[in-house]
Structure 1
Amino acid sequence: MSRLLKSTAVVSAMTLISRLFGYLRDMVLAISFGATGSTDAFFVAFRIPNFLRRLFAEGAFSQAFVPVFAEYKEQRGREALKDLLDHTAGALTLILFIVTAIGMLAAPLLILVFAPGFAGEDNGRQVLAADMLRITFPYLLFISLTAMAGGILNSVGRFAVPAFTPVFLNLSLIAAALWGAPYFEEPVKALAWGVFVAGAAQLLFQFPFLARQGLLPRPRFKKAHEGVKKITRLMLPAIFGSSVVQINLLVDTLIASFLVAGSISWLYFSDRFVELPLALFGIAIATVILPRLSREHAARTPEAFNNTLDWALKLTLVVAVPAMLGLIFLAGPILASLIQYREFTAFDTTMAAMSLMAYAAGLPAFMLIKILAPGYYSRQDTRTPVKIGIIAMLANMVLNVAIVVPWVMLDLPGPHAGLALATGLSALLNAGLLFRGLRRDGHYRPHPGWRAFLMQVAVAALVMSLALWFATPALEDWGQWPAMERVTRLLGLIALGSAAYGATLLALGVRPRQFLMR
């Protein structure tokens, strides 16, 4: 497993660079625009194509494409593989072009569907969001083709380039906020154009690396191509099953549009901080193991398949638990240190911290979904995750009503946090059902020692929690300190929590070599 760990480290390192620029991007957006009705409108206009991107490209398409790519590579040879790439690119481009054109024409209707709370407002959030959606929707076309390019590179073991590519989105939005906004009557519209430019830049960046591998597709279209039909057949159910978390987040946005202005922005910023560990570890590990599991399934080596899953689950849990605790205990300090300046107020920090803690409670489940789903997709089983996804999404809707409605009726502050909590709980259900299915069907058998490992992680988590509980100053104190002192104290607390967790694991007998190979 040392090669897997090395590949995961490469993806994590590139992702860390991207996420650092992502934090810089969010800091610039928060400080420049705050949490207002205008930023709510932009986040809706950005979330719709971004949701479709994760649904079709990073979700269903990638999960369906990579196993078929592995099958062609292992069993059919280079010429057949290149033919598959050309016709897949042609079909994907045609479909995405049609969807993009429809999306741009139907922008006002889409805003009514995804943010109905904007309708009939005097502040014009609905009109502004529709105008920006027409600009951001082509991002779906560009970024979906980028995801295909990344899937090709990942499948041949070139993980660094796809993981680094999102940096261009962050750089484009930073430039739009700092230098483009003054040229617009409505400054936030500059961000929409930043999204458009970023999509094109990310796609173009992949081309030279594909050409170097001799795998740059030349789009062709053939209605009856066998490989494309197989990808489509696998993709259709996976469209739902692989993106339940994103559907839940979109439902959150829909409901939040009826809440007080700023609710969508608070949810956005809190979700972004949860996505950092999710991308660094959960998505990084999942990116690496999907091609590996696909090859092991194609080669009919079930023991190797089981070993890969067991390794990924242990590594995920050992990093997910401290990440969850760190975000829960340090939610307020993180927001106060990193984005509570100028337009982003102390009140915004308090509200965003509530949803950040709620999202963080579901972080292990979010990460486990990323790891468990490839256990199905690598075997070209897309139906089971669909059934599980339907259950989880319905549970999320029920939980939204059960949690948020009483919250609002009791006039308690921060009902948007109830949306985040419902999302986390439904993700826990999703992960549990995925795990149970793999165990029930015999595709995963936990290696000996799991009970002792879980006890070690639990004790280390308790020690970390106590350390952060006693060492973290009150939230109201953070806003009184200068920026450098806030950041220094935050880094100190992160170091304290990490040291407490790591030292406890070492004292209990957990060693890094356990995650290298079996």
Structure 2
Amino acid sequence: MSKKLIKSGLIVSAMTLISRVLGLVRDVVIANIMGAGASADVFFFANKIPNFLRRLFAEGAFAQAFVPVLSEYHTLDEEHTTNETRKLIAQVSGTLGVIITLVTLFGMIASPLIVALFGFGWFLDWLNDGPASAKFDLASTLLKITFPYLWFVSFTALSGAILNTYGRFAVSAFTPVLLNVGIIACAIYLAPVMDNPAFALAWGVFLGGFIQFAFQLPFLYRAGALVKPTWSWHSPGVTKIRKLIIPALFGVSVTQINLLLDTIIASMLITGSISWLYYADRLLEFPLGLFGIGIATVILPSLAKLHTKKDTQEFSDTIDWGLRIVSLFGWPALAGLMVLAQPIIMVLFMRGEFTEFEVLQVSYALFAYLSGLLSFMFIKVLAPGFYARQDTKTPVKIAIKAMVANMVFNLMLAPFFGYVGLAIATTLSATLNAMMLYHGLKSANVFQLSGKTWWFIARLVFSAGVMALIVYQVSPEFDVWLAYSFVEQVQQLIICIFGGISSYLICLLLLGIRLSDIKVTQNRLN
């Protein structure tokens, strides 16, 4: 089981790496053609709304409720040679399909109402014929184009959850690549022939969603899971998922809700605030998606199966292993990005409409987000510990507390620090969320960090600190970076990154960390 988990984790991380790299390419293209101005703010807003709902209806709350039930059915089918899994898939896909179709149609028709709700600052300007009134009109139009993405991605996530439960992680991990391909293609070929490139990007989101949906269908067919959807609101499986998903809407999506609250407040701040937060969040998502989400993807089905088999020790060991892995990569990512934030932003985005001013503004938000990177990662590992046990009440209580705290932090910090205050508030609430999740698992006698893991993490923190000091000494001043040509910037950045990685690994070896430290908590699973 240990080798299988590690292999699956590597596969998901590799596929996620490809997706994240293409995601950065996509953001580079967007920054080049739109920068961080008014149109960029509006596009990121129009893209954020369906992505937020995606966390509710797709990978987020739905997956956390669906995967444990599907794993339970799949395990029982293997033990008793029944075929209830296909029946459950048909019932869930049919029921979800009707709901998602209605939500999508409502979102397209009522787009001005949605913009008024989440872009309240623009709505006020529209009512008073203010300077931001054009943003409100543009956002309402773009949202009609991007909202169908929710329909496509919901079924993409359903397919991915099924394939993951069947142990086929590579397909669903690769699928996000196709969204980036769609957006990049439209940005390159469609944007030049449109008056506003934001429309080309919106159509890229639509196209990418469709390609993702179509790509997974053949793999579902080969797995024997491509079935005819049926409406089954009151069937036992759907009823069980419904009861789990309602509190899970809050539990797994608290970060997204916090980001939406940030967007509402940011719409009242200076132009560029939404874009600066977006670019900073995208850079944060690179290590978070590569390590945190990758590990969470593979351990949820495993935890669900272990809970079904009532193997409490292996259940605890799996969570412990997940925290070790994300810590191993998370701490150096945090340290490296903190030191190299501005050079990385410069190399990736500073061209076209994206200026030195934008580099500085994005870096300030990134510093704030990075201070919570490990908290975001820990949430991805700890939350499945509840959902795999079909316990959604505890995390929803935690999520509500964290969300209220985020709102308070927003109101406290935004008046003084602007958009950076919003990033700080998100970080503080995520840290509170992670601490309460751990305390909840510990109080329920489900999981507690072992002494070896505490010592393991302490050595990682020290090594990451040493790495940060070395990279800081090697990295030139900001003005020197600006004076470099693009080729020189890339060369210097590569030197800093490889110097940092080398110093981190050497420090780990000197402190006695070996490959066995990653596997030790999984010995019971071999």
Cα pair 1:338 1:487 within 8 Å, conserved: no
Match of 1:504 among 507, 512, 520: 507
**1:465 correspondence with 2:468:** yes
1:368 aligns with 2:357: no
Alignment match, 2:425? 422
- Report the RMSD for the aligned CA atoms in angstroms: 1.2
Tell me the CA shift for residue 502 of structure 1.
Answer: 1.5
Shift of 1:24: 0.6
What aligned pairs does 1:201-240 form with structure 2 within 5 A after superposition? 201-240=211-250
Identity %: 47
Separation of aligned partners in 1, 2:455 and 2:204 = 50
2:18 aligned residue: 17
Match in the other structure for 2:292? 282
Assess if the C-alpha contact under 8 Å between 2:266 and 2:419 holds in 1.
Answer: yes
SS class of match (1:18)? helix
With 95-104 and 397-406 compared, the bigger mean Cα shift is at 397-406
Cα deviation, residue 197, structure 1: 1.0
Supply the distance in 1 between the matched residues of 2:348 and 2:101 (Cα, whole angstroms).
39
Gap runs ≥5 in structure 2: none
CA–CA distance in structure 2, aligned partners of residues 458 and 128 of structure 1:
46
Q: Which moved more, 1:290-299 or 1:391-400?
A: 391-400
| 1:412 aligned partner | none
Shift of 1:178: 1.1
- Residue 388 of structure 1 is matched in structure 2 by 398
Q: Distance in 1 between matches of 2:346 and 2:448?
A: 44
* Equivalent residues of 2:33, 2:197 under 8 A apart: no
Matched, 1:488 2:491: yes
SS of 1:456's partner is: helix
- Contact 1:403-1:418 at 8 Å conserved across structures: yes
Question: Runs of 4 or more off by more than 6 Å in structure 1?
Answer: none
Deviation at 1:509, TM superposition (A): 0.3
Paired residues, number? 511
Find the counterpart in structure 1 of residue 99 from structure 2: 95
Pair 1:122-2:131 in alignment: yes
**Which amino acid letter does the alignment assign opposite residue 237 of structure 1?**
P
Matches for 1:114-513 after TM superposition, within 5 Å: 114-119=118-123, 120=125, 121-123=130-132, 124-407=134-417, 415-513=418-516
**Alignment partner, residue 89 of structure 2:** 85
Other-structure match for 1:26:
27
Alpha-carbon distance in structure 2 between the residues aligned to 1:167 and 1:402: 38
Aligned to 1:411: none
- Pick closer, same or farther for the CA change 1:78–1:161 going to 2, 3 Å: farther
Q: In the alignment, is the contact (CA less than 8 A) between 1:55 and 1:246 conserved in 2?
A: no
1:476: Cα distance to partner? 2.5
Structure 1 unaligned segments of length 5 or more: list them: 408-414
2:182 and 2:171 mapped to 1: Cα distance?
18
Distance 1:216 1:485 in 2: 52
1:314 to partner: Cα distance: 1.1
Structure 2 CA distance for aligned equivalents of residues 451 and 219 of structure 1: 48
**Cα 1:272/1:25, change in 2 over 3 Å:** same
- Look up the SS of the partner of 1:291 in the other structure: helix
Q: Aligned partners of 2:90, 2:82: CA distance in 1, in Å? A: 12
Instruction: Give, in whole Å, the separation in 1 of the partners of 2:190 and 2:374.
Output: 38
Contact kept? 2:463, 2:504, Cα under 8 Å: yes
In 1, Cα distance between equivalents of 2:243 and 2:421: 37
Equivalent residues of 1:31, 1:339 under 8 A apart? yes
CA distance in 2, matches of 1:455, 1:170: 37
**Corresponding residue of 1:106:** 110
The 8 Å contact of residues 25 and 170 in structure 1, kept in 2 or not, is answered as yes
- In 2, Cα distance between equivalents of 1:234 and 1:490: 46
Q: Return 104-113 or 468-477, whichever deviates more.
A: 468-477
Given that 2:320 and 2:453 are in contact with CA atoms closer than 8 Å, whether structure 1 keeps it comes out as: no
Contact conserved, 1:173 with 1:195, CA < 8 A, in 2? yes
1:278-309 Cα shifts (integer Å, max 9, x gaps): 11100000000000000000001101101111
Aligned residue identity for 2:12: V
2:62 is aligned to: 61
Task: Tell me how far 1:75 sits from its aligned partner.
Answer: 1.6
Quick one: distance in 2 between partners of 1:456 and 1:222?
52
**For residues 200-234 of structure 1, what are the alpha-carbon distances to aligned partners after superposition, in whole Å with 9 as ceiling and x for unaligned?**
11010000001011011311112321101111110
CA contact (8 A) 2:325 2:518 kept: yes
Contact kept, 8 Å, 2:410 with 2:421, in 1: the verdict is yes
1:332–1:475: 8 Å Cα contact kept in structure 2? yes
Stretch moving more, 156-165 or 316-325: 316-325
Deviation at 1:78, TM superposition (A): 4.5
